[in-house]
Amino acid sequence: MDMQDKEFDEVFRSKLEDFESEPAGHVWPAIEQGLNSSNKRKTLLPWLSAAASVVIMATAAGVLVFTRHGAVAHIPVKPVMSQTPGSTNTGLVAANPVHSQGSGTRPDASRRQDRSGYQTIPGRIIAKNAPANNIDTMPARSGVYKQGDAGLTGNIAHQQITTSKAVVPDKDVQLTASSVTDLALKATPDHIASPVTAMIKTDTAKVKQRHKIHSFGDLVNLVVDKVDKSKDKLIVFSKDDEDDAHITNVNLGAVKTKKGE
């Protein structure tokens, strides 16, 4: 049977192996056209990818600008800041319970307002910001006690920081903090709030680092950071400049990997 199969195959092979048939005239022009279009695709590809990256960058920039813009617009701090130290007891006070306790210059009424202000804040935010508040207010108090009168300008600066942290929804906390921080740093004499400024400085550094985009990985980090607020991000690329796209952290629910920092 095997032999028969081989014979059978052999008949087909011997007769068809060198079978030839002349193609119709339209085949070569079609091949030429195919080659031309594939060449075009090859030359277009770098331009397309360049255009795509421009679009991505523009979108990312847009997201940054708008979120930053929106965050500032929603903070009650802004009008207060334009009011200068002389007239601090309006607007801002309502949002800053901790500081009013620390300085002791605020009327009781404002404290009541503070409480209501706190109640409107979702519990998650309070919990999240609690350590930050503690850190900010503790030195603020000591600053006030030690420095007396000179504390006023510093207090205002701190007020702005704590205010923004307490009121702004968690999404915008960091950005707002950074924008307010610059002002705070200018307004605060170094000797008053050195612990605070130290905190602020590190905070600012972190924020600035986030905004440096050197590589594709940085871009992805930035976008993921915007979208995914959890501690274990969906995907994190290494922050090493030498390393172009090195994934250090992946969180796909079921699949989780994390490399040491």
Partner 1 sequence: MFLEHKYNIPELVRRCKAGERKAQELLYKQFASKMLGVCCRYAKDKMEAEDMVQNGFIKVFQKINDFRGEGSFEGWIRRIMVHASIEYYRKHNRMMQLADLEEADSEASGNPLAIAKLEANDLLVLIQQLSPGYRIVFNLYAIDGYSHKEIAAIVGITEGASKSQLSRARSILREQVTKMERKIYGYAG
> Other CB atoms closer than 10 Å to residue 140's CB: what's the count?
27
Residues 6+ apart with CB under 8 A from 87: none
**Which segments of the chain does DSSP mark as H helices, in order?**
2-16, 27-74, 77-83, 92-95, 97-103, 108-120, 123-147, 151-167, 173-187, 194-211, 216-227
- Minimum gap (Å) between residue 38 Cβ and partner 1: 7
Instruction: Provide the minimum distance between the beta carbon of 247 and partner 1 in the complex, in angstroms, as a whole number.
Output: 31
CB of 37 to partner 1, least distance (A): 10
Q: Which residues of 213-244 are buried (b: 16+ CB within 10 A; e: fewer)?
A: eebebbbbbbbbeeeeeeeebbbbbbbeeeee
Closest approach of partner 1 to the CB of residue 44, in Å: 16
Residues forming contacts to partner 1 in the complex (CB under 8 A) are: 4-5, 7-9, 11-13, 15-24, 27-28, 30-32, 34-35, 38
Minimum distance, C-beta of residue 52 to partner 1, in the bound complex (Å): 24
CA-CA-CA-CA torsion sign (165, 168, 174, 176) = negative
Q: Among residues 5 and 242, whose Cβ is nearest to partner 1? A: 5
Gyration radius from the chain CA atoms: 32
Residue 3 vs 255, nearer CB to partner 1: 3
**Nearer Cβ to partner 1, position 8 or 66?**
8
Q: Which is nearer to partner 1, 12 or 47 (CB)?
A: 12
Residue among 98, 141, 102, 130 nearest 117 (CA): 98
How far from the centroid of its chain's Cα atoms is residue 183's Cα? 21
Closer CB to partner 1, 14 or 230, in the complex? 14
In the complex, minimum distance from the CB of residue 4 to partner 1, in angstroms, rounded to a whole number: 7
Residue among 1 and 252 whose Cβ is closer to partner 1: 1
